[in-house]
């Protein structure tokens, strides 16, 4: 488990309906060991919705002393990419989990093929020559039954011959499929003779060029679970209607009763734990102001609307990581959302709130100025320089202290000064006083402007008796502002990220608009600011609270000590609440 994860001994027992099923199965003796799996398709990067599945699949195995496999569903060679495989493995580990065994659906291709031949011999599968368009036409509708394929009653011998010739590459792509013989009148469309295999003349990235037929997801997934002895196959609710097909594949192939089908695995040295798995569905994680369709995330990347899969505005786990989200904050989100059968949409503020809560507790504080205005303390000599002691965290002494350089000239935030203050303004005004964080009380005596009338510098007096701990510090001054010593400040590129979309439901489709029309033009703003030396020395992915500004992270790739690049992870407060 990662350093950001909470030890199991400190985590309160979770009581959702899936964990209750697991407890009952263990108590009854139905299972003596729990086996789960996380089965991503390596055709894109994982997004925040997958975090819920990862935490559930791996979390249940961890909590009940079981095992969780990472199994890549690589049944479609046209879409697999090694880049996605690497990213998925990295994401799982980043969230704090480790798989018991790394598997691929392609590990089992020979088993799937033998299972398909068994179904043919049993009269439960047939080779169909209908085109994809004809299959859809014959399938029927939700209110009308489907029609049987004219090829449905081919003999076992003909089906075996055709299926073997499909494997040998004799037929064009898309010309034939192997279909299960179930029930064309079923009220469940998934049982209307679904395809089990299709022809695809393409080498496989792992299995090589020995295959030109590939199993369909429902068939491969069900048998993969059975091969690995998965006890609880956890899926999101959209697979609920697929469960009868899942059970049909497991029951009719019956790997446990036909161990000869598993012979190819012995040559690979893969452990065999054949058993009958149980599929259980739960609601997926939906968050407003996002799109989580892998197809749409792919389009965002392909069309250059974002800067890649790990753009900090993306809701991929790689993007969230680069934005500064922590494993602990995502695990906290999953715990708060809970596991249920009820689909719902979580407000984006819940996600941001989890990150604020995690970082508030453990992120060191630093001083930074993002919209700098020069402030000159006229009663200090020009060469004045000293080191002030600041706590790294106001509530956690274990994080220690640091020295912050202080000099005659400082940078402050431009909006901490107002020549004509609005009502309720408590910061710096001409002739007014403000407390400089940790340095004393400053009075603004002079406002310097350029030829265009813009304020370029403030000059004034620092009360030498008003340092923290001195008697003069006790007099009432309404505002406290932060600063950075101009002489010691390090220029930093700061990327101010915000929500990628401007509306809660970018997929609503109102007035013919698509999610592209709702991209927030202010989702990223880049400024050059100044940070104190201790911030500039950060390592990539180190998070801080920049006092009064928000939580920021040193960019994973672009930041280097002395050449800082920071991403805003989240503001100090919910700026969208209204």
Return the active site residues: 41, 284, 294
Query: Does 217 appear as a known binding residue?
Result: yes
Query: Does 21 appear as a known binding residue?
Result: no
Extract the tokens encoding 562.
């002395």
Query: Does 215 appear as a known binding residue?
Result: no
Q: Which of 294, 310, 332, 324 is nearest to 496 (CA)?
A: 324
Query: Does 30 appear as a known binding residue?
Result: no
Which DSSP letter does residue 62 get? H
Query: Does 48 appear as a known binding residue?
Result: yes
Going from the C-alpha of 25 to that of each of 28, 33, 202, the distances in angstroms are: 5, 10, 43
Query: Does 53 appear as a known binding residue?
Result: yes
Query: Does 52 appear as a known binding residue?
Result: yes
Q: 109: part of which helix (H) or strand (E)?
A: helix 109-121
Query: Does 287 appear as a known binding residue?
Result: no
Look at phi and psi of residue 201 and say left if phi exceeds 0, alpha if psi is from -120 to 50, else beta. beta
Length of the chain: 578
Q: Which of 361, 351, 359, 326 is nearest to 2 (CA)?
A: 326
First to last CA, the chain: 39
Cα–Cα distance for residue pair 550/79, rounded to 1 Å: 39
Cα–Cα distance for residue pair 241/420, rounded to 1 Å: 65
Query: Does 559 appear as a known binding residue?
Result: no
Query: Does 285 appear as a known binding residue?
Result: yes
Q: Alpha-carbon torsion 24, 25, 27, 30, what sign?
A: positive
Query: Does 244 appear as a known binding residue?
Result: no
Query: Does 73 appear as a known binding residue?
Result: yes
Compute the CA torsion angle 374, 379, 380, 382 (nearest 10 deg): 70
- Under 8 Å CB-to-CB from 531, ≥6 apart: which residues? 366, 367, 368, 369, 484, 489, 490, 492, 546, 564, 566
Query: Does 233 appear as a known binding residue?
Result: no
Cα–Cα distance for residue pair 56/475, rounded to 1 Å: 55
Write out the DSSP string of 454-479.
-EEEEEEEE-TT-STTSGGGGS--S-
Cα–Cα distance for residue pair 52/317, rounded to 1 Å: 11
Query: Does 519 appear as a known binding residue?
Result: no
With beta carbons less than 8 A apart as the criterion, state whether 520 and 554 touch.
Answer: no
Which DSSP letter does residue 563 get? B
Binding-site entries for L-glutamine: 73, 217
Binding-site entries for ATP: 41-43, 47-53, 236, 284-285, 292-294
Binding-site entries: 41-43, 47-53, 73, 217, 236, 284-285, 292-294
């Amino acid at each position: 488990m990662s350093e950001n994860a909470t030890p199991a001994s400190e985590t309160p027992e979770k009581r959702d309906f899936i964990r209750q099923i697991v407890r009952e199965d263990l108590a009854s003796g139905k299972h003596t060991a729990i086996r789960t799996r996380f089965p991503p398709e390596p055709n894109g990067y994982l997004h925040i919705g997958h975090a819920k599945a990862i935490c559930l699949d791996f979390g249940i195995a961890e909590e009940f002393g079981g095992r969780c496999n990472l199994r890549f569903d690589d049944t479609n060679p046209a879409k697999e990419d090694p880049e996605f495989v690497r990213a998925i493995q990295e994401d799982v580990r980043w969230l704090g989990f480790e798989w018991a065994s790394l598997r691929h659906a392609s590990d089992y291709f020979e088993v799937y093929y033998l299972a398909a031949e068994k179904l043919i011999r049993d009269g439960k599968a047939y080779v169909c020559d209908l085109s994809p368009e004809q299959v859809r036409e014959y399938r029927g509708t939700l209110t009308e039954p489907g029609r049987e394929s004219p090829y449905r009653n081919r003999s076992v011998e003909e089906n075996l011959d055709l299926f073997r010739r499909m494997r040998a590459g004799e037929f064009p792509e898309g010309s034939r499929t192997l279909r299960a013989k179930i029930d064309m009148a079923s009220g469940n469309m998934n049982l209307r003779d679904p395809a089990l295999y299709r022809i695809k003349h393409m080498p496989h990235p792992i299995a090589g060029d020995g295959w030109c037929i590939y199993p369909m997801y429902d068939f491969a997934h069900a048998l993969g679970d059975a091969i690995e002895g998965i006890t609880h196959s956890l899926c999101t609710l959209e697979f609920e209607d697929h469960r009868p097909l899942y059970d049909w594949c497991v029951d009719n192939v019956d790997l446990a009763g036909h161990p000869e089908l598993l012979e190819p695995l012995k040559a690979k040295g893969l452990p065999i734990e054949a058993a009958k798995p149980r599929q259980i569905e739960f609601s997926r994680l939906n968050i407003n102001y996002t799109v989580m369709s892998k197809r749409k995330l792919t389009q965002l990347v392909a069309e250059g609307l974002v800067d890649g899969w790990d753009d900090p505005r993306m809701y991929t786990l790689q993007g969230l990581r680069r934005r500064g989200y922590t494993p602990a904050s995502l695990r906290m989100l999953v715990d708060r959302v809970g596991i249920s059968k009820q689909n719902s949409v979580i407000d984006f503020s819940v996600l941001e709130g989890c990150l604020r809560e995690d970082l508030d507790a453990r992120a060191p504080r630093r001083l930074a100025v993002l919209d700098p205005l020069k402030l000159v303390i006229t009663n200090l000599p020009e060469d004045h320089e000293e080191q002030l002691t600041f706590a790294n965290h106001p509530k956690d002494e274990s994080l220690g202290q640091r020295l912050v350089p202080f000099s005659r000239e400082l940078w402050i935030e431009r909006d901490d000064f107002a020549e004509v203050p609005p009502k309720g303004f408590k910061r710096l005004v001409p002739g007014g006083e403000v407390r400089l964080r940790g340095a004393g009380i400053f009075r603004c005596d002079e406002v310097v402007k350029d030829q265009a009338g813009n304020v370029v510098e403030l000059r004034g007096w620092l009360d030498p008796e008003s340092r923290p701990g001195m008697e003069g510090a006790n007099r009432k001054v309404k505002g406290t502002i932060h600063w950075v010593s101009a002489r010691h400040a390090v220029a930093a590129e700061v990327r101010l990220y915000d929500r990628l979309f401007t509306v809660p439901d970018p997929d609503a489709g109102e007035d013919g608009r698509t999610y592209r029309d709702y991209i927030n033009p202010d989702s990223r703003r880049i400024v050059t600011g100044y940070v104190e030396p201790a911030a500039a020395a950060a390592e990539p992915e180190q998070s801080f609270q920049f006092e009064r500004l928000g939580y920021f992270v040193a960019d994973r790739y672009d930041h280097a000590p002395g050449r800082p690049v920071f991403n805003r992870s989240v503001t100090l407060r919910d700026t969208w609440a209204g």
